[in-house]
Amino acid sequence: MGFRFTNWWGLSVLLVVEIATPRAIAQITVQVHNSARMSPSVLRQGEAEAARILADAGIDVVWVSCPSNPTVVSDCLGFTPNEFSLHIVSDGRTLNDSVFGQAFLGDGGIGKFCDVFFRRIERAWQDSGTDPALLLGAIAAHELGHLLLGSNAHSQVGIMQPVWPRKNLRAIDRGTLLFTREQAARMKARLARRANSALVKPENPGQLFLRLRLLE
Ligand SMILES: [Zn+2]
């Protein structure tokens, strides 16, 4: 009987948490520049995975397909307060091979731009078998997480770990590498403040890198 009672208690706690954690209540727009010319289907699947990860944190994503070269004049050059840029580039030429993405933050943790290095994702796929679209989605979500969380975004657990050990690839395959509840609350609070501000600060970005350790 005691065991059964414990089960019911666990179930009721889960239900309360589920009801008390509203899903998507904030929205961002992400302009996507595909300079790596990756397959459109992999890109769409990667966007869907990043959207799923962010939706788990209560954030809806609207994706906007932009010219592969971000400097080409288009509607994608302007930004509303909750609008960001994701640039899929072939390689991070000046960075170590273990770096898979970078975000650019300026003073006060304000930033709009992040990059993902697609050739390295392809190599990780060849080395580990991790689905490239799922890996792209997880890395994009991590880099967007930097832009949404601002300074001190890294954590010891979840998708904002600064270095991903091989076990994270298994979590990516299972779809369980996610933002923490605290990070979700921080992102939504920060987005609400941005939405109320018409001023987008100019960029003077520093860089933050995401590294994967594939040899563990
Ligand atoms: Zn990072």
pLDDT of residue 210: 67
Tell me how far the alpha carbon of residue 110 lies from the centroid of ligand 1, in angstroms: 15
* 120-144 per-residue burial string, b: 16 or more CB within 10 A, e: under 16: bbbbbbeebebbbbbbbbbbbbbbb
131 pLDDT higher than 90:
yes
Query: What distance in angstroms lies between residue 163's CA and the mean position of ligand 1's atoms?
Result: 8
Mean pLDDT of the chain: 81
Strand-pair partners of 177: none
Residue 66 pLDDT > 70: yes
For 2, residues 6+ apart whose C-beta sits below 8 A from its C-beta are: none
11 confidence band (pLDDT: 50, 70, 90): very low
Two tokens, residue 159: 């998708």
Q: How far apart are CA 104 and CA 182, in angstroms?
A: 22
Span from the CA of 143 to the centroid of ligand 1 (angstroms): 6
Compute, in degrees rounded to 10, the torsion defined by CA atoms 142, 121, 66, 110. 30
**What pTM does this model have?**
0.81
User: If you measure from the C-alpha of residue 211 to the centroid of ligand 1, how many angstroms do you get, rounded to a whole number?
Assistant: 8
The alpha carbon of 30 and the centre of ligand 1 are apart by a number of angstroms equal to: 18
In the DSSP assignment, the letter for residue 135 is H
The closest alpha carbon to 183, from 58, 60, 62, belongs to: 58
Residue, of 79 and 143, whose pLDDT is higher? 143
Average pLDDT score over residue span 116-122: 92
Question: What backbone phi and psi angles, to 5 degrees, belong to 33?
Answer: -110, 115
> Ligand 1 centre from 1 Cα, in Å?
47
